[in-house]
Amino acid sequence: MSTTPILDVRRADDRLRTKIDWLDSRHSFSFGHHYDPENTHFGVLMVNNDDIVRAGAGFDTHPHRDMEIVTWVLRGSLVHQDSTGHSGVIYPGLAQRMSAGSGILHSEKNDSWRCAGATGSHAAEHDEPVRFVQMWVLPDEAGIEPGYEQLEIDDELLSGGLVPVASGMDAYADHSAIRIRNRYAAMHVARMRPDRPVTLPDAPFLHVFVARGEAALEGAGHLAEGDAVRIAGGGGRQLTTATGAEILVWEMHAALGHS
């Protein structure tokens, strides 16, 4: 029996917000002291935080457990350090995944100060804020060994199409930049061009987030920066843009508690 797809448009200004002197964070789902029992997750996606951190500041060392965490930087650069000895600088076009597993400590800081004298395409201004989207999904099993992976995929994004960025699905085993421990989920990014429509994957659950720019989704209409659409039961729709946009898409073939 066929069902009518459900498109749930969530506007940027309706997101929950945490704003303090060094952080401006917009939450697509319940997070921290912001709790809405009707908005805890979609599919297997539990967190989609749109964060801006001022220069010289960031998240001090803190713990995580049993979570797959994908970080995607939109502007500036972010320094990651964790208790397993991994460290790295994350910048636009570089995919990063941290598996918290049985337990991990990590910190994330705006890299502007350290890169103030750098040159090249990823050099940061002395006082540049860093903006990034951090997304969490549950792993297939609890208590796995913590891990870290990062890989630059800037060249692949030049096509303007959807690029698999993080995946636990066999379908993308030969394509995704980094692996996550959830066999039902994959995250894609497109740096869209006006001359190239993007077709969404076919999946029971899709979360489409406009990270930068503006786009239009078939059946949902105009989407501004920060808008999101939760789609249940309907893939294959087209995204277009008149001016350019950066889109983050989670393709999910299960919901929490189901497989």
Annotated binding site for Fe cation: 62, 64, 106, 108
Best CA proximity match to 252, nearest among 184, 191, 182, 197 = 184
- For residue 138 the two structure tokens come to 């549950």
Q: Which residues are annotated as a binding site?
A: 62, 64, 106, 108
